[in-house]
Amino acid sequence: MKGKTAILEGSRAVAEAVCACRPEVISVYPITPQTHILENLARFVASGRLKSQFVRADSEFSAASVVYGASATGARAYTASASQGILLMTEVIYAMASTRLPVVMTVVNRTVSHPITIQPDHQDSMSLRDTGALQIHVESLQEAYDAHVQAFRISEDPEVQLPLLVCMDGWVISHSYEPVTIFPEEAVSEFAGTFKPVQKLDPDKPLTYGSYADQDVLMEYRYALMRAQDRAKEKIRSVAAEYREVFGHFDGDLIDTYCTEDAEMVLIAMGSLVSTIRAAIDELRAEGRKVGLVKVRTFRPFPKEELLEACGKVPLVAVLDKSLSVNMGGVLATEVKSAFYGSPNQPIIVPFMAGLGGKDVNRRIIKEIVDIACRKAEQGYRERETVWMGLNYEFFGTEVK
């Protein structure tokens, strides 16, 4: 299907996608750098273009609670937030997932205070990794648009029924302008379909959500969440494939690979950093270095089998992280190591902290990461420590070397 390509801000592209999917309830609270999305949606509602209940809540906790309740009544629901706002929603997102109520949420990634800052990294969404919500991390403005169109179908599928977070790097994607192809609203609306809840709050058919549970069923609830995330894998694949068939766009399903077929080393990363890595790999390939890339698109469900298949014969892997599990290193690197544990072809895995708190990562730094990983592999790499790129040791005086 032919779309219309225009120069759009990333936040506007997301708002266009959400508008075309026609959520019945939108509830939000402003926080930088998410605010432009809700400003666009508010204008769409005020002009009559979008027929939604738009609730400007008094906090992120309230915004999440409103869409949680809306979903319980069978309404398609959407919200967005960032950083501390996401943390304020955390309790409700746990409840959404455990009660199997689908809500689509945009996470405009911004680091978590303290120190207070508005710089981007993945610390906020990684803090929600165990809530039970699905997480899709996008690389570009176009993928942000495409992923939101697909998100409602995935989240609301009767076999899934989970909140879905579409995560996009703050500023880099939310506030950049570049060509984005958007498709006719009617066609997008038809693709997104309508929410058909398996069950909902209905005075004529009373039921209970969120009731008290003891040890006889609580573990079973958690196991059901694990199974639902497993089932989401196939749904993410099938919706992405159908989207390509209808609209001609494809951003990968659980992972996306680049130059991995003959790679002697693979870089693994998420989000907008992936585009920089692609450009660096093109230059490295021109120099004769066989380096490839795996983009992790879905952090939840985590693509364990897909990573093993993509990197199973590669002797060296470098993982680039924008979030920190204190005293353990990068969150993505920890998950990647877990996926490879026990594999007969386990590669050397070198973790890098690159881009935390908005620290710049350019092609020169990517090439430096490749060189460092290769040197560590030659030396046997026994220390297992995370390599912090761009860390200013003078900041610590003589305390740290």
400: pLDDT confidence band, cut at 50, 70 and 90?
low
Q: Which residues have a Cβ under 8 Å from the Cβ of 305 and sit 6 or more positions away?
A: none
Dihedral sign (CA 388, 393, 396, 401): positive
- Read off the pLDDT of each residue in 61-86 and give the average, rounded to a whole number: 98
Looking at residue 383, its pLDDT comes to 64
Which residue intervals of 259-383 are DSSP H helices? 273-286, 304-311, 331-340, 363-378
Looking at residue 395, its pLDDT comes to 87
Residue 200 tokens, joined: 């909902």
Q: What are the E-state strand segments in 143-290?
A: 164-169, 177-182, 255-258, 265-269
**In this model, does residue 339 exceed pLDDT 90?**
yes
**In this model, does residue 366 exceed pLDDT 70?**
yes
31: pLDDT confidence band, cut at 50, 70 and 90?
very high
pTM of the model: 0.96
Q: What is the mean pLDDT of the chain?
A: 95
Question: How far, in Å, CA of 33 to CA of 179, rounded?
Answer: 20
Looking at residue 384, its pLDDT comes to 75
Residue burial 126-137, b: 16+ Cβ < 10 Å; e: rest: bbbbebbbbbbb
**In this model, does residue 382 exceed pLDDT 80?**
no
DSSP label of 291: E
225: pLDDT confidence band, cut at 50, 70 and 90?
very high
**In this model, does residue 228 exceed pLDDT 60?**
yes
- Read off the pLDDT of each residue in 223-228 and give the average, rounded to a whole number: 95
Looking at residue 164, its pLDDT comes to 98
User: Which value, in Å, is the radius of gyration of the alpha carbons in the chain?
Assistant: 21
Q: Rounded to 10 degrees, what is the CA torsion of 4, 18, 300, 272?
A: 50
Which is more confidently placed, 276 or 396? 276
Looking at residue 313, its pLDDT comes to 87
